[in-house]
Amino acid sequence: MLAHLLRLAGIETIVLEARTRDYCETRIRAGLMEQGSVDLMEEVGATERLHREALVHGGIYLRFNGRSHRIDIHGTTGRSMYIYGQQEIVKDLIALQLAAGGDIRFECSDVSIDGLDSDRPTLRYVDAAGDETRVTCDFVAGCDGFHGMSRPAIPESVLQTYDRQYPFAWLGILSESPPLDPELVYAHHPDGFALFTMRSNTMSRLYLQVAVDEDIANWSDDRIWSELHHRLEGEETPPLIEGPVLQKSILPMRSFMTVPMRFRRLFLAGDSAHIVPPTGAKGMNLALADVAVLARAFETFYATGSEHKLDAYSATALRRAWGAARFSWWMTSLTHVFNDRLAFDNMAQLSELHYITSSRAGAETLAEQYVGLPIER
Ligand code: PHB
């Protein structure tokens, strides 16, 4: 997305990607786009397939005490969410960038940065053919994820990090079966959180709260389905339709924030700077918002020579990132079982869920953050 926004502003980029194109285009990841993320896709002209295939959602269900309650997000905010897999976004953006003559280099390994103290930093890497290569540039955007080399390239003395680990994980499956409901269901259950979501009208994605050190080998498909039925079904809901499990994995839950998001000519964006638990569906949307802010800062710099937006980048991006981090932590805290169903915590969660689903103010607070606050650029 950053490369697209910069290309449209006449700024040249080179994208170094560790994986193969096929890996990027098929890896199952996030699935829910905020309206602001779709607006960015629109801005770069990448919505042709999205508008044909994405499912538009105007609300979500919160399920607790055996009943589902709808939060009318479109009705309260005028904005919607879109179901469209992250790998589909990646597929569309890669195709468009290559068709426009953009430079994406796949299968780059051993990437390192030199000269961050100078005006012309250099990236060294080994290319797909095994040759050592260098790229010298004006700026480096560290969009290389939590395990990338960008964040560790910043001296520890200038970085502050904030970490929150959760005492559980998610087990996620992709099932070839039609959705239980046309909208997402977030379920609070005494035996653990469950989430029903989807990728299409024929493909469901389901998650279960499991132990933090859970071994996937302990979860046969039968056990997974039985637990999903138990946590997601009730008298007033249609039964969950089972289908072949195409993929299953355990996802860790973590909140992690890096401050600042810039060191000299290196700018961090997305997971290289922050990780949020998936409960609020914010991770990918936050990464897209980061690069929207960063692209505008580069545009201003190249158009006017002014560095004021580059200097403001970290603070601007962090304001939004902390909002998303707090929201994701709150959604997680509201819906998961902590410490063996501590009686008081459980009752307080149920009381707050009741408040959110019965008060207009409560519902609006959830709705405007879930659908995504405007991107300040
Ligand atoms: C997903 O569709 O994979 C998804 C949706 C909402 C979430 C988390 C994951 O909060």
The answer to whether 125 is a known catalytic residue is no
Q: Which of 278, 309, 313, 336 is catalytic?
A: 278
How many Cα atoms sit within 13 Å of 213 on the Cβ side?
Answer: 0
Q: Is 282 a catalytic residue?
A: yes
- Can you give the pLDDT at residue 343? 84
> Taking 80 as the threshold, does the pLDDT of residue 251 lie above it?
yes
Return the pLDDT at 180.
80
- Does residue 31's CB lie within 6 angstroms of at least one atom of ligand 1? yes
State the DSSP H helix or E strand holding residue 211, giving kind and residue range, or none if neither. strand 204-211
Closest approach atom of ligand 1 to CA 198: 2
* pLDDT tens digits for range 150-209: 999 999 999 999 999 999 999 999 999 998 888 999 999 999 999 999 999 999 999 999
Q: Which residue has the tokens 């990464």?
A: 287
For the chain, give the mean pLDDT: 96
The DSSP call for residue 44 is T
Tens digit of each residue's pLDDT (9 = 90 or more) over 334-377: 999 997 767 899 999 999 999 999 999 999 999 999 999 999 99
What is the per-residue pLDDT across 80-137, written as a single tens digit (0 to 9) for each?
999 999 999 999 999 999 999 999 999 999 999 999 989 999 999 999 999 999 999 9
pLDDT at 43 over 80: yes
What is the pTM for the complete model shown? 0.96
Q: With 90 as the cut, is the pLDDT of residue 21 above it?
A: yes
Q: Which atom of ligand 1 is nearest to the CA of 278?
A: 8
Q: Which atom of ligand 1 is nearest to the CA of 280?
A: 10
Per the annotation, the verdict on 278 as an active-site residue is: yes
Task: Spell 323-358 as b/e; 16+ CB within 10 A means b.
Answer: ebbebbbbbbbbbbbeeeeeeeeeeebeebbeebbe
Task: Give the distance between the most distant pair of CA atoms in the chain.
Answer: 66
pLDDT at 237 over 90: no
- Rounded Cα gap, residues 4 and 44, in angstroms: 6
pLDDT of 234:
86
Active-site hit among 188, 282, 309, 336: 282
- Tokens 């607790």 belong to residue: 64
Is 336 a residue of the active site? no
Residue 368 is which amino acid?
Answer: E
CB burial of 4-33 (b: ≥16 within 10 Å; e: otherwise) equals: bbbbeeebebebbbbeebeebeeeeebbbb
pLDDT higher than 80, residue 27 = yes
pLDDT at 138 over 80: yes
